[in-house]
Amino acid sequence: MDTDQIIPARFMSRSRSEGYGDQCFHDLRFDEGGAPTRDFPLNDLESPPGILVTAENFGCGSSREAAVYALMDYGVQAIVAPSFADIFHSNAGKNGLLTIKQPSERIDELISLLTEKPGTKGEVDLPAQHWRIGHLYGSFEIDPRLKYRLERGLDELSATMEHEDRIAAFEKTHLSTGTWRIPAAG
């Protein structure tokens, strides 16, 4: 699934504050007349999906943070897939969307379960690094720094600012402790 399927380019002029949820998967969710399509599985949900299970290389295509915004605004909190496009994976983590890599065989089992029983409930336990969907479950790896930020709802800047006192102390002393000199302006 590429980023243009997640959020078509024609919707990219909207500001972030206006939200992108109603445009997420737009061309897959709606026909040309704007009516919901019958065969798109997310159209049958009673509430936002929370966890999205998908095929490999999710988020390939052009680099669009708006694709992550659209998913999050649509209610997706975690995506389970065998692989993610590198830029999408990075954008997801930076914006608070959890990506969980699982073996293709496990994804096939999950898709079979969800096809057989649409709306099956699931949950992700980030601290324990486990997930469960229906009777299926698994564990996942995550970068410790990303896990820390996601658990606390921090972006990279706010996580850095947790060290503001140490940064200020360093700034006060780092120029005077080096063996190098700053040339005079002139």
- Residue 72 contacts residue 11 (beta carbons within 8 Å): no
State the pLDDT confidence band at 173, using cuts at 50, 70 and 90. confident
CA distance readout (Å), 175 to 22, 127, 171:
51, 40, 8
The answer as to whether 106 is a domain residue is yes
**Number of domains the chain contains:** 1
pLDDT digits (tens, 9 = 90+) for 104-154: 999 999 999 999 998 899 999 999 999 999 999 999 999 999 999 999 998
What count of Cα atoms within 13 Å lies in the side-chain half-sphere of residue 70? 22
State the pLDDT confidence band at 161, using cuts at 50, 70 and 90. confident
pLDDT digits (tens, 9 = 90+) for 73-111: 999 999 999 999 999 999 999 999 999 999 999 999 999
Picking from 104, 122, 94, the residue whose alpha carbon sits closest to that of residue 58 is 104
Q: Do you know the residue count of the chain?
A: 186
CA distance 63 to 65: 7
The answer as to whether 154 is a domain residue is no
Tell me phi and psi for residue 79, to 5 degrees: -125, 130
The answer as to whether 67 is a domain residue is yes
State the pLDDT confidence band at 180, using cuts at 50, 70 and 90. low
CATH number of the domain to which 55 belongs = 3.20.19.10
- Enter the pTM of the model: 0.85
Write out the residue range of the structural domain in which residue 19 sits: 3-142
pLDDT at 66 over 90: yes
State the pLDDT confidence band at 179, using cuts at 50, 70 and 90. low
The answer as to whether 173 is a domain residue is no
pLDDT value at residue 163: 87
The answer as to whether 169 is a domain residue is no
H or E stretch at 73: helix 65-74
CA distance readout (Å), 60 to 17, 47, 162:
25, 26, 33
pLDDT value at residue 128: 98
The answer as to whether 182 is a domain residue is no
The answer as to whether 41 is a domain residue is yes
pLDDT at 178 over 80: no
Where does the chain have alpha helices with state H? Answer: 3-6, 26-29, 65-74, 86-95, 104-116, 144-152, 156-161, 164-177
pLDDT value at residue 36: 92
pLDDT at 3 over 90: yes
The answer as to whether 39 is a domain residue is yes
